[in-house]
Amino acid sequence: MVNDKNSNLPPPPSPEAGSDVVGTINLILESAVNKKASDIHVDAERDSLNVRFRIDGFLHPEITLDKYYQERLVSRLKVMAQLNISEHQMPQSGHLEFKHGDRIYNVRLSTVPTQFGESLTMRVLEREEIMLKDDDLGANPEQMEMINQISKSPYGLVIVTGPTGSGKTTFLYSLVNSLNSIDRSIVTVEDPVEYNIAGIRQMQIRESVGFDFHKAMGAVVRQDPDVIMLGEIVDDNTAQAVFQAALSGILAFTTFHTFDVPALLIRLLEMKIPRSVIAHTIRGVLLTRLVRKVCQSCKEEYIPSESEKMLIGIHNKIPAKLTRGKGCDKCHNTGYLGRSGIFDITLFDDDIRFAIIDEVSLSDLDKLVSSKKKWNLWDSAMEKVVNGVTTLDEAIRVVGYPKSVSGQANASTKN
């Protein structure tokens, strides 16, 4: 049975009705696309199969299927993703394509064995050109000017950092696509290719045949590129290859899982990248996060509390009213719908380069970098709070409290 009153899924069909399982899969995928879910979780339980959608960063229950569906649904998805349907004890990953209307979506599938059978997750990605405007990214004009200054360097390395789900991949694509022109050769190395971009040669890593990031980077530099994009620095060899390419006169872009410049420096030194190479190669570091936007269908204004005024007033004029969502069916009663980017932008200048070469302490480097920034994550988030794009609660959830008032703010917001 299906325990969801809004579901269009059928009741359990007869065992021979395999086509109904395909129809069930299609309905799940269609619903995920319509609700703009980024991920689909299909979790095996003792007596059921639970399906949840990740929307705007949060998981929401979608449907509960009868246990009947588990083996049939997982097996069918494995066939669609060209996986081994007889393997149930080891994780597997693959991808399939799904057409909905006139759009094609790439679905990345990952299976894992659990105590109640195989569970799986699916990442849903639209397979068409990514054409993001400044408003889509969430950057204001001043931020875009700084971002363009970094990304349009003649050579060097641009690093986009942030945790999983922070929007760094989408941001990276938009940066590279902004340089896409007939007089430039742009090559990417990805695992997997998440968006197709016309005019750019995109290389897919294939570990199964020995084509890894390091070998791909070796091939890329022999393709006479002006710009390269490496999806992620995964190991020492890959790090050394992308830095060498950037030093040779190529403009390179990549992502890294760190949270600030000092942490990035530590990781690169651990990967045996010399300080002088780090200092002279990196053009800028762009940290990105995603905040949920106030739902436009149920938004309301309210007078901020004293603690909220205190936090907002650190660097901004305090508005008379703030905006929040009351919660409605359209936003799953969360008060939020959609997400917007916030940014921390560091341009590498001579002061930062010399500090890295001179081996200043990490705390001193952090102070220097902070003094150079016009925009950090907190300021970027507060601008969106003041303009009614998001809420203070959401900003604190994503960024945390600013260091200068963390203790005081934390105490005051509990009152």
Q: What average pLDDT does the segment 398-403 reach?
A: 87
Assign domain 18-126 one CATH number from 3.50.50.60, 3.30.450.90, 3.10.580.10, 2.40.50.140.
3.30.450.90
Q: Would you list the domain boundaries of the chain?
A: 18-126, 134-295+335-375
41, 118 contact by CB (below 8 A): no
CA–CA dist 291, 302 (Å, integer) = 20
User: What pLDDT does residue 414 have?
Assistant: 43
CA–CA dist 75, 299 (Å, integer) = 43
CA–CA dist 242, 250 (Å, integer) = 9
Chain mean pLDDT for the chain: 89
Q: Is pLDDT above 70 for 400?
A: yes
Is the model more confident about 369 or about 196?
Answer: 369
Say whether 134-295+335-375 and 18-126 share the same fold. no
- Give residue 407's pLDDT band: very low, low, confident or very high (50, 70, 90): very low
* CA dihedral sign, ordered 404, 410, 413, 415: negative
Which residues face 63 on adjacent strands?
51
Cα distances (angstroms) measured from residue 20 to each of 14, 17, 283, 364, 382: 9, 6, 54, 63, 49
CA–CA dist 318, 331 (Å, integer) = 28
User: What pLDDT does residue 339 have?
Assistant: 94
User: What pLDDT does residue 413 have?
Assistant: 45
CA–CA dist 281, 287 (Å, integer) = 18
Site of tokens 């001193």: 364
pLDDT in tens, 65-83: 999 889 999 999 999 999 9
Entry pTM: 0.84
195, 106 contact by CB (below 8 A): no
In percent, the amount of the chain with pLDDT more than 90 equals 73
Residue type, 95: H
User: What pLDDT does residue 131 have?
Assistant: 53
User: What pLDDT does residue 311 have?
Assistant: 86
User: What pLDDT does residue 102 have?
Assistant: 87
CA–CA dist 268, 87 (Å, integer) = 38
HEC sequence for 333-363: CCCEEEEEEEEEEEECCHHHHHHHHCCCCHH
* CA dihedral sign, ordered 64, 66, 72, 75: positive
194, 172 contact by CB (below 8 A): no
Q: Is pLDDT above 60 for 6?
A: no
Hey, is 113 helix, strand or coil? strand
Q: What average pLDDT does the segment 366-386 reach?
A: 93
Per-residue buried b or exposed e for 338-367, using 16+ beta carbons within 10 Å of the residue's own CB: ebbbbbbbbbbeeebbebbeeeeeeeebee
pLDDT in tens, 286-308: 999 999 999 999 999 999 998 89
* CA dihedral sign, ordered 77, 83, 89, 90: negative
| C-alpha gyration radius of the chain | 24
CA–CA dist 153, 132 (Å, integer) = 20
pLDDT in tens, 102-112: 888 989 999 99
Mutual angle of helices 261-270 and 362-372, in 10-degree steps: 130
User: What pLDDT does residue 260 have?
Assistant: 87
- Give residue 194's pLDDT band: very low, low, confident or very high (50, 70, 90): confident
CA–CA dist 139, 85 (Å, integer) = 45
* Distance, first Cα to last Cα, the chain: 46
Q: Is pLDDT above 90 for 149?
A: yes
186, 199 contact by CB (below 8 A): yes
Residue type, 413: T
322, 392 contact by CB (below 8 A): yes
User: What pLDDT does residue 409 have?
Assistant: 45
pLDDT in tens, 299-356: 999 999 988 988 887 656 778 899 999 999 999 999 999 999 999 999 999 999 999 9
Cα distances (angstroms) measured from residue 201 to each of 41, 103, 154, 197, 318: 32, 21, 20, 8, 48
Assign domain 134-295+335-375 one CATH number from 3.90.650.10, 3.40.50.620, 3.40.50.300, 3.50.50.100.
3.40.50.300
